[in-house]
Amino acid sequence: MKTTWDMRYSKRIQSMKASTIRKLLKFTEMEDVISFAGGLPAPKIFPKEEFAKACARTFAEKSEVALQYGTTGGYYPLRKYLAENNQLGMKFSPDNIIITSGSQQSLDLLGRAFVNRGDHILVESPTYLGAIQAWNAFGAEYIPAMIDNDGVIPEEFRKSLRYGAKFAYIQPNFHNPTGVSIPLERRKAIIEIADHYGIPIVEDDPYGQLAMDCGKVDSLIKLDSQYRDCGGSYCGDVVYLGTFSKVLAPGMRIAYMIAPTNVIQKINLAKQGADLHTATFNQVVVYETIKDGFLDEHVQLIRRVYAERRDTMLKALKENFRDGYSWTHPEGGLFIWATLPDHIDTTELLQYAVEEKVAFVPGMHFFPGTHKTTNQIRLNFSNANPTLIVEGIKRLLTAIEKYEKNTLTVKNLA
Amino acid sequence: MKTTWDMRYSKRIQSMKASTIRKLLKFTEMEDVISFAGGLPAPKIFPKEEFAKACARTFAEKSEVALQYGTTGGYYPLRKYLAENNQLGMKFSPDNIIITSGSQQSLDLLGRAFVNRGDHILVESPTYLGAIQAWNAFGAEYIPAMIDNDGVIPEEFRKSLRYGAKFAYIQPNFHNPTGVSIPLERRKAIIEIADHYGIPIVEDDPYGQLAMDCGKVDSLIKLDSQYRDCGGSYCGDVVYLGTFSKVLAPGMRIAYMIAPTNVIQKINLAKQGADLHTATFNQVVVYETIKDGFLDEHVQLIRRVYAERRDTMLKALKENFRDGYSWTHPEGGLFIWATLPDHIDTTELLQYAVEEKVAFVPGMHFFPGTHKTTNQIRLNFSNANPTLIVEGIKRLLTAIEKYEKNTLTVKNLA
Residues of A in contact with B225 (CB under 8 A): none
Local structure of A255: helix, strand or coil: strand
Mutation to test the B interface, candidates A50, A104, A253, A289, most B Cβ within 10 Å: A253
Cβ–Cβ gap B17/A114 under 8 Å: no
- Interchain CB distance below 8 Å, B114 and A9: yes
Contact between B51 and A68 using a beta-carbon 8 Å cutoff:
no
Q: Give chain A positions within 8 Å (CB) of B245.
A: 69
What is the mean pLDDT of the segment spanning A210-237? 86
Amino acid at B191: I
Beta strands A376-380 and B34-35 are unpaired
- Looking at the predicted complex, does its ipTM rise above 0.90? yes
Across the range A288-303, mean pLDDT stands at 97
**CA dihedral over B208, B214, B219, B222, signed as positive or negative:** positive
CB B238, CB B195: distance < 8 Å: no
CA-to-CA dists, residue A397 to A94, A315, A325, A380, B127, angstroms: 51, 14, 11, 16, 61
Residues of B in contact with A276 (CB under 8 A): 102, 104, 130, 253
CB contact under 8 A, A251 and B55: no
β-partners of residue B336 are B379
CA nearest to A17 within chain B: B269
The pLDDT assigned to A212 comes to 87
What digits encode the pLDDT tens for the residues A129-187?
999 999 999 999 999 999 999 999 999 999 998 888 999 999 999 999 999 999 999 99
Beta bridge partners of B338: B327, B377
3-state helix/strand/coil string of B44-99: HHCCHHHHHHHHHHHHHHCHHHHCCCCCCCCCHHHHHHHHHCCCCCCCCCHHHEEE
Q: What is the DSSP letter of B363?
A: G
Kindly report, residue by residue over A323-365, the tens digit of the pLDDT. 899 999 999 999 999 999 999 999 999 999 999 999 999 999 9
Closest partner residue to A114 (CB to CB) among B9, B64, B166 is B9
Give kind and range of the element (H or E) at residue A77.
Answer: helix A76-84
Identity of the residue in B6, B67, B275 whose CB atom sits nearest the CB atom of A249? B67
Residues B277, B279, B284, B290, CA torsion sign: negative
Calculate mean pLDDT across residues A274-281.
97
Residue type (1 letter), A306: Y
**Contact assignment for B279 to A67 by CB distance below 8 Å:** no
Q: Are B275 and A108 in contact (CB under 8 A)?
A: yes
Query: How confident is the prediction along chain B (414 residues), in pLDDT tens digits per residue?
Result: 678 898 899 988 988 877 766 666 666 667 799 999 989 999 999 999 999 999 999 999 999 999 999 999 999 999 999 999 999 999 999 999 999 999 999 999 999 999 999 999 999 999 999 999 999 999 999 999 999 999 999 999 999 988 889 999 999 999 999 999 999 999 999 999 999 999 999 999 999 999 987 778 999 999 999 877 777 899 999 999 999 999 999 999 999 999 999 999 999 999 999 999 999 999 999 999 999 999 999 999 999 999 999 999 999 999 999 889 999 999 999 999 999 999 999 999 999 999 999 999 999 999 987 788 999 999 999 999 999 999 999 999 999 999 999 987 666 555
Q: Which residues contact A42 (CB under 8 A, 6 or more apart)?
A: A302, A305, A306, A309, A382, A383, A385
Beta carbons of B9 and A199 less than 8 Å apart: no
pTM: 0.96
Within 10 angstroms of residue B116's Cβ, the number of other Cβ atoms is 15
- CB-defined contacts A:B, below 8 A: 293
Contact B114 A13 (CB under 8 A): yes
Other Cβ atoms closer than 10 A to A87: 18
How far, rounded to the nearest angstrom, does the alpha carbon of residue B291 sit from its chain's CA centroid? 25
Q: Which residues of B217-250 are buried (b: 16+ CB within 10 A; e: fewer)?
A: bbbbbbbbbeeeebeeebbbbbbbbbbbbbbbbb
Pick from A44, A262, A268: which is nearest to B6 by CB? A262
Query: Residue A380 pairs with which residues in a beta bridge?
Result: A335
Give the Cα separation of A19 and B185 in Å (integer): 45
* Chosen from A28, A63, A197 to mutate, greatest number of chain B CBs within 10 A: A63
- Range A189-211 burial, b when 16+ CB lie within 10 A, else e: bbbebbbebebbbbbbbbbbbbb
- In chain B, which residues have their Cβ closer than 8 Å to the Cβ of A262? 1-3, 5-6
Distance from CA of A321 to the nearest CA of B (A): 32
Closest CA to A307 of A404, A382, A203, A229: A382
Q: By CA distance, what is A51's nearest residue in B?
A: B59
Distance of CA A213 to the CA centre of its chain: 20
Report residue A33 CA to chain centroid gap.
23
Please give the sequence-ordered ranges of beta strands (E in DSSP) within B274-334, or none if there are none: 326-327
What Å distances lie between residue A74 and A283, A284, A287, CA to CA? Answer: 8, 10, 11
pLDDT at position B213, please?
75
- What residues in A contact B263, CB-CB < 8 Å? 3, 5-6
3 state SS of A94: helix
Q: Which of helix, strand or coil describes residue A172?
A: coil
C-alpha of A303 from chain center: 17
Mean pLDDT for A311-328 is: 96
d(CA A322, CA A314): 13
Cβ atoms of B360 and B350 closer than 8 Å: yes
Chain A residue with minimal CA distance to B131?
A273
Q: What share of chain B is helix, strand, coil (3-state, %, to 5)?
A: 50, 15, 40
Confidence of residue A398 (pLDDT cuts 50, 70, 90): very high
Q: Each residue of A97-114: pLDDT tens digit?
A: 999 999 999 999 999 999
Mark yes or no for CB contact B200/A166 under 8 Å. no
| Residue A168 CB partners (closer than 8 Å, separation 6+) | A121, A122, A123, A145, A157, A161, A194, A199, A200, A201, A202
CA B48 centroid distance within chain: 23
3-state secondary structure (DSSP) of residue A185: helix
- Can you tell me whether residue B265 is helix, strand or coil? helix
Pairwise CA distance, residues B183 & B224, whole Å: 15
Phi, psi of A361 (to 5 degrees): -110, 125
The separation between CA A143 and the C-alpha centre of its own chain, rounded to angstroms, equals: 19
